[in-house]
Amino acid sequence: MTTATVEEKIAAGMSLALDGVTLSYTGAPVVRSLSLTALPGEILVLTGPSGCGKSTVLRALAGLLAPDSGRILADGAAVTTTSRDRAVVFQDNALLPWRTVRSNIELALALRGRPRSGRRREAERWIEEVGLIGFGDFLPKNLSGGMRQRVQLARGLAGAPRAVMMDEPFGALDTQTRATMQRLLVETWRTHPTTVVFVTHDVDEAVLLGDRVAVLGRAGAPLRTVVDVPWPRDRDALDHPDTRAARAKVLAALGHTNTQEN
Ligand SMILES: Nc1ncnc2c1ncn2[C@@H]1O[C@H](COP(=O)(O)OP(=O)(O)OP(=O)(O)O)[C@@H](O)[C@H]1O
């Protein structure tokens, strides 16, 4: 499998836009008048203090939560419900426990409209791609946390969704497994290009994975900043002064938020 060109990435991924969006559950708004765009084929990282509304924004982009006001747009069209074009990957425990690895992936393919005849073969290809050969018949409870996240990654990207919302998918993993999963995400995203909105608390992960990093303010407060990462996904560039400056900007925005909170 080959790596997609910039043009292919843009063609495969959709644009996602929040335009003056306010989101709430029962009480005061969690997110107020937020405007933010994910460009076609990019990885946009959302970070910010705990409880600031990162998962809430993902839910709204997925079509699981309607805005009180403002517009949510996917390729310019209003998002009113969930769509097979927009997938969601959660932190853990989102696999169906009574289905095998293969069957969990086949279900994702079915939900994305893949014909029944090719699903098993496609699921097998995904099992291979995420490094789980030999585990197709296993149930999720018999896998490690890292292996379950491999299945989730396959489920998220299988069937070529045009956007994938990822909610701290590696948050529960140990450092080494997390680094392996970051590499696997980048590899699979390169061969299966799509727009990714990725939530993390981890500044290093944000600057490693994102084309851009959006720092949300505390709940109800304005967006702090959006930082461009100069060489996204290039571990060799992490020590470059420009990358360090980008990281420092993210940290400063987070620090500023924390200062306001205290
Ligand atoms: N289903 C819900 N019903 C009511 N309130 C909710 C619901 N989900 C989240 N909230 C509240 O909305 C706020 C934002 O939650 P959200 O999970 O979006 O934040 P977050 O930034 O993702 O947090 P964390 O980093 O801790 O995961 C919190 O105050 C939370 O308690």
pLDDT per residue as tens digits for the range 78-96? 999 999 999 998 776 689 9
The closest residue, in CA terms, to atom 29 on ligand 1 is 51
Going from the Cα of 51 to the center of ligand 1, the distance in angstroms, rounded, reads 5
13 and 113 fall within a common domain: no
pLDDT of amino acid 258: 45
Regarding whether 169 and 148 lie in a shared domain, the answer is: no
Q: How far is CA 229 from CA 34, 188, 190, 215, in A?
A: 21, 20, 17, 13
- Asked if residue 5 has pLDDT above 80, the reply is no
Residue 232 scores a pLDDT above 90: yes
Assess if residue 239 is contained within a domain.
no
Residue 260 pLDDT grade (very low, low, confident, very high; cuts 50, 70, 90): very low
Do the domain assignments include residue 255? no
Ligand 1: residue of 34, 52, 215 to mutate (most ligand atoms within 8 A of CB) is 52
Is residue 69 located within the same domain as residue 194?
yes
Give pLDDT tens digits for 113-148: 999 999 999 999 999 999 999 999 999 999 999 999
User: Could you tell me if 23 and 125 lie in one domain?
Assistant: no
Instruction: Return mean pLDDT, the chain.
Output: 91
**How many domains are there within the chain?**
2
* Residue 245 in domain: no
Q: Which domain holds residue 140?
A: 96-160
Q: Are residues 166 and 155 in the same domain?
A: no
Contacts of 226-229 with C-beta under 8 Å, sequence gap 24+, read: 226/36, 227/253
Residue 261 has pLDDT above 60, yes or no: no
What is the model's pLDDT at position 220? 82
Residues paired with residue 226 on neighbouring β-strands, in sequence order: 214
pTM: 0.93
Pocket of ligand 1 contains residue 50 by CB under 6 Å: yes
Token pair, residue 48, equals 């910010």
Q: Is the Cβ atom of 182 under 6 angstroms away from ligand 1? A: no
**Within-domain flag for 170:** yes
